[in-house]
Structure formats: structure tokens, C-alpha cells
Structure 1
Amino acid sequence: MAGSDTMPRRIYEDYAYSDAARAECIWPLPDQNWPALNADTRTDIAIIGGGYTGLSAALHLAQAGVGVTVLEANQPGWGSSGRNGGFCCIGGDMRGLGAIQKRYGDTATLAYFNAQRDAIDLVADLLAIHAIDADTHSDGEVQLAHHPKAMTQLATEKDHWAAFDIDARLIPADGLAARGLAGRFHGALHVPLGFALNPGKYVGGLAKAATRAGATIHARSPVTRIVRTPSGYTLITPQGRIIADRLILATNGYGTDGLPDWMTGRYLPLQSNILVTRTLTGDEIAAQGWSSDLMAYDSRNLLHYFRLLPDRRFLFGARGNIRASAPGQDAMRARLHRDLAALFPAWANIETPHFWSGLVSLSPDLLPYAGPIGDWENAWAGMNYHGNGVAMATWVGARLADMALGRQQALPVHTRPLPRFPLAGIRRSYLYPAVLGYRLMDGPPPT
């Protein structure tokens, strides 16, 4: 038998992995009570992680008639899958299609783009097939220029979309108000791909669909050790063990260095933060002039992302908080409130009773990963969606199921040996100069 040689270690303070970080989250957790693993058992395929990736993999495997068990440290959807902004759209990487095209060529880039479109369609299909009411809205997404010079970049992006037969539309600054997009912006690009949803309702529906299909889900069952055996894997939890022939790792930003050793340094968690207002009145919406239901984000490096929810609350999110602590959370809450007031001045004094944070995950090569866990046989991982995992994580979960079933071994662009961050043990420290540099490049919000 061979286990992990490295002591498991998480790179953030305990606060990041506590209930306190999501205490004010407005999205519902699943109302089903899945039991903890409290005995020794076996399964064909064990999945570590009960977010979009793990639940999608479990659903597709169960539908194929395979015995599959999900081990979730908390409860399904507790992590970023149940506390994100609800943007089901193109994404998953931090390179962009133009950079990917230069690096990998036209054929691979088209295949990757088609995978992203398929990912959006997969979520839509799952919502329809399993009758999941996830409060969907929005005809694609809109990127808003935070500076007049950013419109040049948006015009270039419009040309990139045209190469993929997507009719993206530039909106000049003087046309924003007529589209219900009034704020301190300098124009926009509307990309008609994707939709918004309630991530809590979606992940809860996905978990219930996987259960109905025959998957077994154990909540409150953190895996503390993985042992390789001649016939497969033994996963050890505080109250029980599970023996599996095959293994899928789906922890993303909530992964642990040393569990297994291969994980160390191959992901970099980053906190993303969301502020939500109280319900806005019709007069308050009219006063600001933001009445659109489009998913939106701005052109900053440390971008803001936002949307008007169906219940007329306004969701406003951003990244950039490195301290995983109650004081760090308070400081980021204050920063987000200032940014909200700067971009939407009519809402400067609107109450914001909800704020929470979660961990997204970055890859050393800025691409998502779906593929083998090093040289381990019959073991795969899916992760690193760069804060845009609603669609991509769901799709990767389905592809990991294909890999486990022997149906697929290669994916466009983003299946390759996954590199490690240099000096992996201190990689979190990279975020401090990066965040500072991005803030200097972005400049302050308008005043």
C-alpha cells in the first residue's frame, strides 16, 4: 500500500474553511440531509467533493449504471458552488480566446470554444431535464469599460467573437442608459452567450438528481487520507473508510496540499467576495438607471461582477481580499461598499445586509484542468476554473465521468500535464504583489 507522503495542509487560515465565511450568503443550501460515512464500505468510483464538478460526475456515472459515492467535507454546495455570483457563461480560463489562439492555434481554440458553449448548454439541459427551478434570467453578459481606453480592447474582443460567429454588440457610452445599464462606465460589449441562475438552487437540484439516479452522497465526511492499494484506493474519513476501484478528485479551491501529494502547488485558491443590497424599490432603480437583468462585469483586472436579481436586490462582487479572517472580511466588505457607491452613486446609501466570501482556484498556466492525477491509475481530477465554474465545472464533471468510463482521454487545450507553481509552499504570497499591481493598473473607482 502507498499513501500520501506529505502532511495535508491548507494554505489559508481556518476562517476561509469555516461557516463564518458564508454566514450571510443568500443562496439556499440543499434541504436534504445526507448522512455522514460512518462505516467501512466499497464503491466502484469514489468522488471527493460535492460541488458542481463532483455532482455532475456522480450524476453522469450513476446514469451509466456505475456505483458511485461522493464524499463531501461539509454538505453539497457548501463551497464555492453554492456561494458564487450565478454566472453561467463562457469562461474557465484567464487567458482569453485571443491568447489561446496564439498559443494553441485555430483548431484547438475552436474546440475549446465549442466546449465552453457545450458547457452552457449542458447546464441548461440539466435544469430542464431535472426540473430545477433556478431563477434563470439574462440574455448573455455585458462587459463594461471602466476607462475610455478600454473600449478599444472591447472592440478587439468583438472581432474575436465574430470569428466564432457570435454577434457581440458594442454599446457606446451614450447608449448605456437606454439599455438600463446606467453607471459610471464608458461603453460596453454585450455577448449573447449564457444566463444567470441561483447557484444554491442549481447545486441543490444537481445533488438531488444525482441521488435519484443512484449515486450515494455522504455529507460531513472529509477525506483525511488516500491510500493506494493494488486494486484501487482506500479513502479514510473520521468515521469510516471507503474502498474504490477508481477515484475522482473534485475539490477545486477547497483542496488540500498533500491530499494527495500530486495536488501540492497545482492550484492557487483566491477569495472572491459578494455584497448584496436589500430589495430596491422601483424609484431607486429608476434613480440609478440600472434596470437590466444582464449579467455584468467591468474591464478591470480585479474586476467587479454584478447583476440585478429577480427579486430586485443587487449583487455586487469582486476579488482582491487576501486575508482570510474576520477583520479581513470586514475590510473587504467596506471596500466593496465604497466601490458600489462609486460606480452606482444613486445607491451610495442603500443598505447592504449580506456579504460573504468563497475560494475560487487559479492554475499555474491559467487554464482549467481535467485529467489524470499524475501517474496514478484510474484516478482523475478536475479543477481551476478561475472563478467562472458554473458552466465549466459542470461540463468537466461530465468529462471526468467519461474518462472514468473509458470513453474519453483527451480534451481541447486544457488537458496536459498540470504544472506546479514555483516554490509551491509560499505561493499564496504571490497574491500580495499581484493584487497591489492590478489595483495600481486599474486605478481607483470613479469619483
Structure 2
Amino acid sequence: MRRLYEPMAYGRAPIAESFWPTTVAQIPEHGPVAGEVEADVAVIGAGFTGLNAALALAGAGCDVVVLEAEQPGWGASGRNGGFCCLGGAKAGPSELLTRFGEEDTRAYYRAERAAIDHVAALLNTHGIEADTHSDGETLLAFRPKDMRVLEQLSDEMRRFQQVECELLPREALAGRGLASPEFHGALTTPIGFALNPMKYALGLACAVQKAGGRIFGQSPVTRIASQAGRHLLTTPAGQVRAKRLVVATNGYSSDDLPGWMAGRYLPVQSNVLVTRPLTEEELSAQGWTSLQMCYDTRHLLHYFRLMPDKRMLFGLRGAMKTTPRAHAQTRAIARADFERIFPEWRHVETPHFWSGLLALARDLVPYAGPIEGMDNAWVAMCYHGNGVAMGSYAGRLLAAQILGDGPDTPNPLRSAPRRFELGRWRRAVLPFAYSYYGLQDRG
């Protein structure tokens, strides 16, 4: 396997202190593939994308096998911040309009909205209790001049989502339970909600099994070949033969599985702190009592939300390595940022810290479509940190492409991603990109 990060990124160390596993009574263990297994469709990856594809396919009567290197929800799907919100593309409306035109751009933005509705429907249909909260999402301006960014986003939401957002000046933040010396205003978009991603992922896995799908854990695919018109997938203890293939590994992909993946995605690290439960006195002292999911206007953004159990989740981007030393350094940076944004909580313990990999595309737009050069093979990836909704919906879209029945995939999502210029050395751009963004964030 040709992966881009240090070995630690693909082991258990980054999630040794994750909060999410502590919220479930038990994480089911799915046994590995043993011997020869046949299926109509093989899905590689038991995260939001793979499980959504498998659920739709199994529900339509396909014989589906899901192969996971660890266990369902082990990757980014079980370690993210739980923001089910608009997003997926890092490219803005002007870029999308230039590339795809008005009609296709609007179709893409309808898909972002449909992705949130899709997750909400799954939670309801399958009775998945995922600790949902937040009435939409709130963007906070960390500089006075960023109020213009909020105004622009409000205009875009009105144009592409047909919703009115609420713009708040700095003096109104405390009255909404959003008090912090860091922020100069806020914009709330009334679309989306927060959830517990581990509970959602495990609920999906259970639904796949109830629909007749088979899930195998501890079954990393080490080779993909073609044999007699079928895909032959090799794992350490067996092989799977399938007529059709779905690759849903995103930031945990390998450049040679299949070879088409090489250079078409860039894994980047996201990191999360979670506090102990805060007391009512501590919440009042800071003046932060809102259960809104929030993020700020930095390029290297922070994202945070007060959860129903009164713990604060606080995430950030910017780490470039996954080593023990880098992990400790990033934790220290996260803690310092947390204390600056919430100064009344400087004494509050943050016992949970973990990291995971998301993926970026060179063209800054997600992809959900065929794998070029392979028959009956599909992939979805590169949600730019918004995989709860878009990753879920992308899996559903792949199932629709395979079945020939279901929601249409907008053209922007079917535009095959270009390769990054530096190929296997593309991680080398991160120090320069992060330095540039860091300078912009100080400006």
C-alpha cells in the first residue's frame, strides 16, 4: 500500500483518547474475510460513504460485502466533529459558476441541501439516536473586516439555497450565548444540525446488516485485480470476487488501490479537543451557553460546539505530520487556542484529544463517479472536511449510479478530479499552504 502519511496516522495512537468511543456501550467487532467470498458488489471502506452505498444497494436487493481495514467508524467517520451541514466543495460559487455554469452550479448546491436531508431521514428511518442538536450552523467573524465575509455568505445563501440567514453584530453575541472576546459578529444559516458521528456510523452499520449486507472488519484490501470479468480483492485471510466495486476510503486511501487514485486526493489532518462536562456556573462565567455548532472565518479554521452533555468540542486544522511529537505539539496549540477563545475556561480540563485525516481535491470539488479505466467500478471522495452530510450522500449517489435508479448526480460531482502536480510528494505543498493561510489569518 502506498499511503502518504507516517505509519502512526493509520494506527490506533491518534484516537487513543477519542471521546466518541466512550459514548457507546460497545463497538461491535466484525470478523475478517476468511477464504473465498462472492458478492454482487464489494464496498471498500465502512465509513459514511461506504455504508451509505451498501445500505442503498442492499435495500435494493443486491448482495453486498463491505470490507473495512479496522472496524466500521474507525476512520474519519468515527472521529470527526459531527457537523452535518452545508459543504463539500472548497471551491466557491464564482469558481463553480465559471467551470460549470449556472444550471449545474445550482444543481450542486441543491445536492448539498439534499445531503443534510438525507442524513436526517436515515436517522429517523432507522431509529438511530445520535444526540442531535443545533438549529443550523453559525459562522463567527474573528476580525471586524470579516463581517463583509458574513454579508457575502448571506447573499450566497439567499441566491443558492433560498434561505434568509441571521446576521448578528458583536454586541448581540452575548445575548445569544455566544460570548467570547475573539469574535466580532456572527451569521447563522438555518440549515443543518450536529450529531454524534460514532453513533451515526454504528447505526448505519447495523442498518446495512439488517438489509442483508455483510460487513467484514480487520480486512484491509491489499490488492485489486480483474479475473473473468470480476473484481478480485485480496485481503490477509481471504479473497472477495464481485461484479461491481465501490471504493470509499477517502483520506485513508492508498495510491495503488486502485492505481487511478494516485495523486487525485490530498489527505490533511484535523484535530479535536473535548472538555469534561462544564458546570452551569462555568457556562455563565464565559457566557457561552448556545448549543449551536460554530466555526470561524479563519482559513485554518476552528470549529466548536457545546454538546447536550455540556462538554465543549473544539477542533482545528493545521497539523502537517502524524508523529508522537507532532501530536503533542498540536494538542498544545489546540489548548492554547481554546484558552484564548474561551478565557473563562482556562482551568477546565480537556481529557480527550484525537486526530484524523480528511481529503482535498486538486479542483476543490468532491467526486462521486466511475473510476476511469476500470469496468463496473466507482469511487467517492474529497469532501473537504464536510463528510458527514456530503460523504453520506455521495455513497447514496454511487448506489443510484449503479442501480440506475435514485437521485441524479450533479455534473460537478461527476467531474473527475485532476492529479496534484507533485504526485506522491504532494504533501510537500502543505507547509507552504499553511504558512500562506496563517499569514492571511493574521492580516
- Amino acid corresponding to residue 106 of structure 1 in structure 2: E
Match of 2:206 among 201, 205, 208: 208
- Amino acid corresponding to residue 176 of structure 2 in structure 1: R
Residues 37-96 of structure 1 show CA distances to partners (whole Å, capped at 9, x for unaligned) of: 011111000000000000000000000000000000000000000000000000011113
Where do 1:337-376 residues align within 5 Å? 337-376=335-374
Separation in 2, partners of 1:292, 1:167: 20
How far the C-alpha of 1:33 sits from its partner, in A, is 2.1
Question: Any conservation in 1 of the 2:104–2:410 contact (CA below 8 Å)?
Answer: no
Question: SS state of the match for residue 69, structure 1?
Answer: strand
2:424 corresponds in structure 1 to 425
Q: Can you give the 5+ residue segments of structure 1 that lack an aligned partner in the other structure?
A: 1-7
Question: SS state of the match for residue 45, structure 1?
Answer: strand
Separation in 2, partners of 1:15, 1:335: 20
The reply to whether residue 122 of structure 1 matches residue 105 of structure 2 is: no
- Amino acid corresponding to residue 288 of structure 1 in structure 2: Q
CA gap 1:410/1:192 in 2 versus in 1, 3 angstroms: closer
Question: Any conservation in 1 of the 2:141–2:296 contact (CA below 8 Å)?
Answer: yes
2:45 corresponds in structure 1 to 49
Question: SS state of the match for residue 144, structure 2?
Answer: coil
Match of 1:71 among 67, 85, 89: 67
Match of 1:22 among 12, 15, 19: 15
Separation in 2, partners of 1:363, 1:134: 29
Match of 2:173 among 173, 176, 183: 176
Question: SS state of the match for residue 122, structure 1?
Answer: helix
Match of 2:154 among 155, 158, 164: 158
Q: Could you tell which deviates more after superposition, 206-215 or 399-408?
A: 399-408
CA gap 1:308/1:252 in 2 versus in 1, 3 angstroms: same
- Amino acid corresponding to residue 179 of structure 2 in structure 1: A
1:3 corresponds in structure 2 to none
Separation in 1, partners of 2:81, 2:417: 27
Question: Any conservation in 2 of the 1:41–1:241 contact (CA below 8 Å)?
Answer: yes
Alpha-carbon RMSD across the aligned residues, in angstroms, is 1.2
1:315 corresponds in structure 2 to 313
TM-score normalised over the length of structure 1: 0.96
- Amino acid corresponding to residue 320 of structure 1 in structure 2: G
1:336 corresponds in structure 2 to 334
How far the C-alpha of 1:31 sits from its partner, in A, is 2.6
- How many residues get paired? 437
Question: Any conservation in 2 of the 1:45–1:68 contact (CA below 8 Å)?
Answer: yes
The reply to whether residue 9 of structure 1 matches residue 8 of structure 2 is: no
- Amino acid corresponding to residue 62 of structure 1 in structure 2: A
Question: SS state of the match for residue 412, structure 2?
Answer: coil
Separation in 2, partners of 1:162, 1:432: 36
Separation in 1, partners of 2:176, 2:420: 43
How far the C-alpha of 1:231 sits from its partner, in A, is 1.3
Question: Any conservation in 1 of the 2:141–2:297 contact (CA below 8 Å)?
Answer: yes
Question: Any conservation in 1 of the 2:247–2:378 contact (CA below 8 Å)?
Answer: yes
CA gap 1:410/1:293 in 2 versus in 1, 3 angstroms: closer
How far the C-alpha of 1:155 sits from its partner, in A, is 0.6
Question: SS state of the match for residue 70, structure 1?
Answer: strand
After TM superposition, where is structure 1 displaced by more than 6 Å over at least 4 residues in a row?
A: none
1:31 corresponds in structure 2 to 27
How far the C-alpha of 1:103 sits from its partner, in A, is 3.3
How far the C-alpha of 1:98 sits from its partner, in A, is 4.1
1:101 corresponds in structure 2 to 97
- Amino acid corresponding to residue 31 of structure 1 in structure 2: I
How far the C-alpha of 1:100 sits from its partner, in A, is 2.0
TM-score normalised over the length of structure 2: 0.97
Separation in 1, partners of 2:228, 2:428: 39
Question: Any conservation in 2 of the 1:370–1:400 contact (CA below 8 Å)?
Answer: yes
Question: Any conservation in 1 of the 2:367–2:416 contact (CA below 8 Å)?
Answer: no
Residues 198-249 of structure 1 show CA distances to partners (whole Å, capped at 9, x for unaligned) of: 0000000000000000000000000000001231200000000010000000
Q: Can you give the 5+ residue segments of structure 2 that lack an aligned partner in the other structure?
A: none
2:415 corresponds in structure 1 to 416
What percent identity do the matched residue pairs reach? 51
How far the C-alpha of 1:101 sits from its partner, in A, is 2.9
Residues 240-292 of structure 1 show CA distances to partners (whole Å, capped at 9, x for unaligned) of: 00100000000000000111110110110000000111111001000111100
- Amino acid corresponding to residue 8 of structure 2 in structure 1: Y
2:437 corresponds in structure 1 to 438
Match of 2:288 among 287, 290, 298: 290
Match of 1:62 among 58, 79, 102: 58
Question: Any conservation in 2 of the 1:98–1:160 contact (CA below 8 Å)?
Answer: no
1:198 corresponds in structure 2 to 196
Separation in 2, partners of 1:425, 1:79: 21
Separation in 2, partners of 1:394, 1:141: 18
Question: SS state of the match for residue 163, structure 2?
Answer: coil
Question: SS state of the match for residue 149, structure 1?
Answer: helix
Residues 158-195 of structure 1 show CA distances to partners (whole Å, capped at 9, x for unaligned) of: 11111131111111000100011111200011100100
- Amino acid corresponding to residue 347 of structure 1 in structure 2: W
